[in-house]
């Protein structure tokens, strides 16, 4: 039998195995758990996969992997729910969904937005599974030819997309990305062991954690604005769920070619080890912004194509990540690293055997991913009516529960108090950036790719010298590296060039300084201080931070001068209606502009005061006793809610957190003052 016949036979036998009712039952259970973890902001499927791994010991390999892949594949399907409803990313991979999902919910199109997310997730997930099915035997030579220079080039290309993700403020975006890269280098330098910007804190030795950073930058600012405006997410209490659901599905079939392209992006970058799922949605979103007609005027304001691009790539990445995991034993993501442990537990060895004698098992994984996406999307459609109605709830009913879950999600970063301090600090930074219209996506992208960029740069230099970049002979040319670098440089410089060409020196006039310019001064001062500290480090430890920091300061300074000298002319052009062709602001815009500055600052201080109070109570009596206390105080004093609503919400939320996180996930809660003074209470009161 030829190769194609063997593959088809193995695929057919694998489908029959997976359709066994017993295995389908466990696949469905995994899907339900994956959706729950996707809905909970910041928790994600990684913790769930790790938690459930021991339960697979007694299962046969087919059942075990159906169970685990059901969870891993549907977590991304549930991610859009909090992203659309509250502007809170369910995971780092759904951050781009917030940009268009929340504006759609605010104008009463939550049903349509969720439906578009589900259908594009389903189509992207099926695409990823199909790609895995056909690509493992084909792509093996290509994947093996990828070295550290190619990985570095891909990281640089990812960084270059900040020019797209910065929208109308490319200089600000590049500066924010530079700060993100520098923050990614906090901790022990892998080359020399130098401690970089750790401030004598043990928590920072291993670097900043992604979860509290993402939740702080994207989640807390949206909740802060919700409390400042003191409204529901959507002012329309008559959300058309059924009509919206049908329209969202139609949108996906209408833009099927966009789904195909973004699924390719998700699957490809998901298959590249080390890139990670935190940037794939941004890459796909940036691609859609550049290629879709009229996108620059509508993206970020509630364009369904933004949702489709983000979610299609987000779900397709799982199938892509399985390719290097199965074929080479190289995990394509952190979740796949846990699956490698499952391989060893069940006596399977990733590599050539998975493409020969275990080919049937490999295709059972493909079917598991495909069926999980179908089941996950079906479950989401079934309950979307309830999800969409959440957008009409008052802020005082939403905030207490979401904030409690966010604190737990941030704590999952490293289960250290430093995670909560980071959450608060980045929440304040993210809210300030949003208010002053500094784009936040480039900051996240720079942070995610910063460590990858530095690591592959040093590996390339150690292994190949400079020949990988400056070849000494025709045979030593690495064409993939040169092509990707050229595309990255063109992408980075294009928006700056277009601005200069279209406006030139006529843009500048008499200077005008406003208080918001102080944030650029703060950015320059912060990065200047970081460079001053870096000047005393070992050469290898300081070379990359020095280059990145110097470029970031240059762009931030240029942006500051541009704003000061161009402000009067831009205001005049805007007033006369002549400011044509302005690019889209690639971030959520604050909806508190109708309020006075004093009111905004007062209510923002109250919001962050509640957060500080939550942390103080958590440090004193523990997280679980704090939850009902926080719900009662917030709903009663902030929202003036009746007791008939306060008591059930406090009881239900506390019980849910106790069962899910204390009993099932057995999270080791941080020590408390009450537990230190009265050790006997530790066994009596959870989290004390």
Torsion of CA 572, 575, 580, 585, to 10 degrees: 100
Decide if 210 contacts 448 (C-beta within 8 A): yes
Give just the sign of the alpha carbon dihedral 435, 183, 265, 493.
positive
DSSP character at residue 302: S
Instruction: At 83, list the tokens.
Output: 């992203």
Average pLDDT, the chain: 78
The DSSP bridge partners found for residue 188 are 195
**Alpha carbon distance 627, 648 (integer Å):** 13
pLDDT at 574: 63
Better-scored residue on pLDDT, 522 or 380: 522
**Alpha carbon distance 259, 293 (integer Å):** 15
Query: pLDDT class for 278, splitting at 50, 70, 90?
Result: low
Better-scored residue on pLDDT, 640 or 330: 640
pLDDT at 273: 59
508-546 CB burial, b ≥16 within 10 A, e <16: beeeeeeeebebbeebbebbeebbeebeebeeebbbbbb
Q: Work out the angle at residue 381's Cα, subtended by the Cα atoms of residues 378 and 385, and round it to the nearest 5 degrees.
A: 155
Judged by phi (left if over 0) then psi (alpha if -120 to 50, else beta), residue 579 lies in beta
Helix (H) or strand (E) segment spanning residue 40? none
Nearest-CA neighbor of 86 among 327, 401, 351?
401
Q: Is the pLDDT of residue 668 over 60?
A: yes
Other C-beta atoms closer than 10 Å to the C-beta of 20 total 14
> What SS3 state is found at 392?
helix
Give helix 518-534 / helix 539-576 axis angle, nearest 10°.
Answer: 170
pLDDT tens, position by position, 35-65:
776 665 545 555 566 556 666 777 888 888 8
**Alpha carbon distance 377, 106 (integer Å):** 23
Instruction: At 338, list the tokens.
Output: 């846990």
Greatest alpha-carbon pair distance for the chain in Å reads: 79
Instruction: At 428, list the tokens.
Output: 């304040």
Q: Give the range with max mean pLDDT: 79-93, 192-206, 269-283, 371-385.
A: 192-206
Mean pLDDT of 439-452: 79
Q: Work out the angle at residue 313's Cα, subtended by the Cα atoms of residues 308 and 319, and round it to the nearest 5 degrees.
A: 140
Q: Is the pLDDT of residue 605 over 70?
A: yes
Mean pLDDT of 560-579: 70
Token pair 């983000």 is found at 310
Q: Where is average pLDDT lowest: 274-283, 303-312, 472-481, 589-598?
A: 274-283
> What SS3 state is found at 437?
coil
Q: How far is CA 519 from CA 199, 226, 559, 660, in A?
A: 23, 23, 11, 41
Query: pLDDT class for 606, splitting at 50, 70, 90?
Result: very high
Q: Is the pLDDT of residue 581 over 50?
A: no
Other C-beta atoms closer than 10 Å to the C-beta of 498 total 13
**Alpha carbon distance 271, 273 (integer Å):** 6
Decide if 555 contacts 496 (C-beta within 8 A): no
Query: pLDDT class for 577, splitting at 50, 70, 90?
Result: low
Decide if 317 contacts 293 (C-beta within 8 A): no
The model's pTM is 0.72
Mean pLDDT of 401-427: 83
Q: How far is CA 63 from CA 58, 159, 174, 268, 355, in A?
A: 10, 40, 47, 27, 20
Decide if 368 contacts 62 (C-beta within 8 A): no
Ordered DSSP codes for 476-508: G--HHHHHHHHHHHHHHHHHHHHHHHHHGGGG-
Mean pLDDT of 80-105: 75
Query: pLDDT class for 686, splitting at 50, 70, 90?
Result: low
Other C-beta atoms closer than 10 Å to the C-beta of 144 total 10
Q: Give the range with max mean pLDDT: 329-333, 488-492, 546-550, 675-679.
A: 546-550
Nearest-CA neighbor of 553 among 512, 522, 513?
522
Ordered DSSP codes for 197-225: S-TT-GGGGG---HHHHHIIIIIHHHHHH
Decide if 87 contacts 106 (C-beta within 8 A): no
Residues 6+ apart with CB under 8 A from 86: 41, 102, 219, 222, 223, 226, 233, 390, 398, 402
Q: How far is CA 538 from CA 193, 244, 542, in A?
A: 10, 58, 6
Q: How far is CA 586 from CA 161, 296, 302, 414, 437, in A?
A: 12, 9, 12, 30, 9
Instruction: At 67, list the tokens.
Output: 């169970």
Q: Phi and psi at residue 278, in whole multiples of 5°? A: -75, -15
Report the percent of the chain where pLDDT is more than 70: 77
> What SS3 state is found at 569?
helix
Query: pLDDT class for 2, splitting at 50, 70, 90?
Result: low
pLDDT tens, position by position, 616-639:
998 888 888 899 999 999 998 887
Instruction: At 232, list the tokens.
Output: 């529901």
Helices and strands of the chain, counted as H and E runs: 29, 2
């Amino acid at each position: 039998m030829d190769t194609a016949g063997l593959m088809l036979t193995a695929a057919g036998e694998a489908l029959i195995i997976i359709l066994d009712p017993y295995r389908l039952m466990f696949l469905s259970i995994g899907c339900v758990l994956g959706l729950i973890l996707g809905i909970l902001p910041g928790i994600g499927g990684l913790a769930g996969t790790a938690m459930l791994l021991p339960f697979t010991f007694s299962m046969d390999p087919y059942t075990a992997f159906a169970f685990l892949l059901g969870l891993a594949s549907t977590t991304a399907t549930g991610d859009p729910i909090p992203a659309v409803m509250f502007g809170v990313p369910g995971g780092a991979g759904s951050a781009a969904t917030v940009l268009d999902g929340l504006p759609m919910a605010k104008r009463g199109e939550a049903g349509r937005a969720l439906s578009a997310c589900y259908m594009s997730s389903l189509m992207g997930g099926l695409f990823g599974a199909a790609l895995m099915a056909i690509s493992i035997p084909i792509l093996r030579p290509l994947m093996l030819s990828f070295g550290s220079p190619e990985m570095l080039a891909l990281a640089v290309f990812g960084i270059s997309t900040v020019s797209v993700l910065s929208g109308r403020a490319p200089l600000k975006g590049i500066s924010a990305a530079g700060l993100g890269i520098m923050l990614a280098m906090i901790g022990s330098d892998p080359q020399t062991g130098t401690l970089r910007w750790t401030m004598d804190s043990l928590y920072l030795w291993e670097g900043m954690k992604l979860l509290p950073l993402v939740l702080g930058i994207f989640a807390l600012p949206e909740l802060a604005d919700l409390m400042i405006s003191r409204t529901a997410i959507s002012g329309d209490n008559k959300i058309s769920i059924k009509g919206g659901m049908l329209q969202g599905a139609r949108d996906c079939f209408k833009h099927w070619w966009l789904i195909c392209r973004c699924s390719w992006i998700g699957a490809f970058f998901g298959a590249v080890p080390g890139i990670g799922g935190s940037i794939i949605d941004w890459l796909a979103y940036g691609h859609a912004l550049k290629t879709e007609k009229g996108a620059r005027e509508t993206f970020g304001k509630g364009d369904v194509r933004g949702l489709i691009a983000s979610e299609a790539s987000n779900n397709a990445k799982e199938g892509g990540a399985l390719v290097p995991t199965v074929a080479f034993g190289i995990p394509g993501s952190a979740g796949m690293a846990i699956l490698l442990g499952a391989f060893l537990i069940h006596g399977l060895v990733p590599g050539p055997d998975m493409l020969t004698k275990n080919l049937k098992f490999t295709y059972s994984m493909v079917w598991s991913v495909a069926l999980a996406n179908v089941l996950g999307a079906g479950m989401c459609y079934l309950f979307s009516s309830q999800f969409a109605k959440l957008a009409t709830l008052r802020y005082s009913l939403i905030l207490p529960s979401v904030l409690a879950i966010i604190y737990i999600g941030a704590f999952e970063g490293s289960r250290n108090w430093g995670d909560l301090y980071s959450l608060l600090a980045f929440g304040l930074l993210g809210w300030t950036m949003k208010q002053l219209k500094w784009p936040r996506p480039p900051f996240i992208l720079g942070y995610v790719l910063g460590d990858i960029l530095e690591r592959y740069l040093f590996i390339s230099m150690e292994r190949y010298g400079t020949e990988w970049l400056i070849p000494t002979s025709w045979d030593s040319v690495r064409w993939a590296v040169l092509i990707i670098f050229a595309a990255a440089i063109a992408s980075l410089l294009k928006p700056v060039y277009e601005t200069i060409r279209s406006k030139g020196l006529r843009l500048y006039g008499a200077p005008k300084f406003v208080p918001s310019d102080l944030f650029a001064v703060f950015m320059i001062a912060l990065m200047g201080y970081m460079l001053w500290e870096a000047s005393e480090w070992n050469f290898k430890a300081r070379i990359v931070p020095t280059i990145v920091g110097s470029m970031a300061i240059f762009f931030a300074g240029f942006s500051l001068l541009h704003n000061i000298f161009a402000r009067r002319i831009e205001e005049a052009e805007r007033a006369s209606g002549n400011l044509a062709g302005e690019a889209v602001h690639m971030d959520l815009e604050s909806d508190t502009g109708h309020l006075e500055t004093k009111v905004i600052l007062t209510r923002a201080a109250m919001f962050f005061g509640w957060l500080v109070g939550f942390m103080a109570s958590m440090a004193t009596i523990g997280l679980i006793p704090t939850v009902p206390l926080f719900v009662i105080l917030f709903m009663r004093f902030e929202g003036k809610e009746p007791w008939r609503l306060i008591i059930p919400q406090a009881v239900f939320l506390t019980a849910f957190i106790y069962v899910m996180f204390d009993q099932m996930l057995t999270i080791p809660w941080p020590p408390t003052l009450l537990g230190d003074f009265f050790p006997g209470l530790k066994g009596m009161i959870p989290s004390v």
